[in-house]
Amino acid sequence: MSSRDVVLGRLRAALAGGTEPVEVPRDYRHTGTLDLDQLVQRLTDYRAHVHRVAEAAVADTIAGILPPGGTVVVPPGLPPAWLPPTVTALPDDGLDNARIGAADAVVTAAAVAIAQTGTVVLDGSPDQGRRVLSLLPDRHICVVRADQVVATVPEALARLTPHRPLTWISGPSATSDIELIRVEGVHGPRLLHVLLLP
């Protein structure tokens, strides 16, 4: 008898007394009124830096965030116009971890953002790249278009594809393990900049 048969057999035996079908009530909120100010406020609450700029100003904004000559990891499908000429772009053509980790920042797009929780979600699309890109550099600059923002968690899940690797990000890396004092940047990026486009 395989362990699979043993475990499934035990679970079936445990339910042999019969079970009633369970109806799941779904009367919680599914949608909400979209409020971009709420997204900004909740991201800021998590100590992310939010910049509300027009798409034409993305490059200038990034130039203001990074030191001149800084290196930026770039996913293969990122719009080239987003990068300022003052930085050195490292396009991800299979960059090794050492080079990714040594970069000053990574710039990505996003798949979805959730206003009520202050969350951006990356799904590995070409303008977001592999998961490691947004993990190792100390600064993550994430560009979100207003039409990617939803109000609620249920709306976000409905827009996402489960078969892509998903990374939900709510503020920079943080811990409260030492006397419950919040410390930013334990292992992930210490700084999160969100550029919110109209």
Partner 1 sequence: MTRRTFLGMPATAPPGVGHLRGAESFPAAARRGLADPQLRRNLRHATTTIRAKSGGVIAELPDWEQLRAAGAAIKADTLARLPELLEQLEARVTEAGGVVHWAADAVEANRIVTDLVRATGVDRVIKVKSMATQEIGLNEALVAAGITPVETDLAELIVQLGGDRPSHILVPAIHRNRAEIREIFLREMPGVDPTLTDDPTALAAAARRFLRQTFLSTPVAVSGGNFAVAETGTLAVVESEGNGRMCLTLPQTLITVLGVEKVVPTWRDLEVFLQLLPRASTGERMNPYTSMWTGVTPGDGPQAFHLVLLDNGRSAVLADEVGRQALRCIRCSACLNVCPVYERAGGHAYGSVYPGPIGAVLSPQLTGIEDNASLPYASTLCGACYDACPVKINIPELLVHLRAEAVESHRRPTAESIAMAAAAYAMDHPRLYAAGQRAARLSRFAGRRGRGLPPPLNGWTGSRDLPEPPAQTFRDWWADR
Q: Which of residues 13-72 bind partner 1 (CB under 8 A)?
A: 13-15, 17, 19-30, 42, 46
- What SS3 class is residue 158? helix
DSSP collapsed to 3 states, 60-99:
HHHHHHCCCCCEEEECCCCCHHHCCCCCEEEECCCCCHHH
Q: Is 93 in the site for partner 1 (CB under 8 A)?
A: no
In the complex with partner 1, the residue whose CB is nearer, 63 or 174, is: 174
Question: Which one, of 139, 86, 149, lies nearest residue 108 by Cα?
Answer: 139
CB of 195 to partner 1, least distance (A): 19
**Taking the complex as a whole, how short is the minimal distance between the CB of residue 113 and partner 1, in angstroms?**
11
Residue of 67, 97, 99, 126 interacting with partner 1 (CB under 8 A):
97
Per DSSP, the three-state class of 130 is coil
**Looking at 59-67, 79-87, 143-151, 186-194, which segment touches partner 1 (CB under 8 A)?**
186-194
Task: Read off φ and ψ for residue 148, nearest 5 degrees.
Answer: -95, -5
Instruction: State which of positions 154-173 bind partner 1 (CB under 8 A).
Output: 154, 156-158, 162-173
Structure tokens at 124: 């590995």
To partner 1, the closest distance from the beta carbon of 108 in angstroms equals 13
